[in-house]
Amino acid sequence: MPKRILEGRVVSDKMTSTVVVEVVRRFMHPLYKKFVSSSKKYHAHDTTGAKVGDTVRIIECRPYSKTVCFEVMKAEA
């Protein structure tokens, strides 16, 4: 089974070696046919040193802790 790769923006880097990434996805509402934005926050293990506001790609990995099951692949300023 392939690992999920998501792209989002870092909203918090206050934890040691963990960042919070907000992933926004757009989809069409099935009844009203209007595009709706939905966002979700993921905790990701960070060794690249990403800062707040950076756009990052995260990949699914083994659980590092109770809430951290993604890791940062690439950080772009």
Q: Which tokens is 52 given? A: 């707040």
| 61 close to 71: Cβ distance less than 8 angstroms | yes
Q: Encode pLDDT of 3-36 as tens digits.
A: 999 999 999 999 999 999 999 999 999 999 999 9
Q: How far apart, in whole angstroms, are the C-alpha atoms of residue 31 and residue 45?
A: 38
Q: What is the pLDDT of residue 76?
A: 79
What is the chain's mean pLDDT, rounded?
Answer: 95
Q: Encode pLDDT of 59-75 as tens digits.
A: 999 999 999 999 999 88
Q: What is the pLDDT of residue 5?
A: 95
Give this prediction's pTM. 0.89
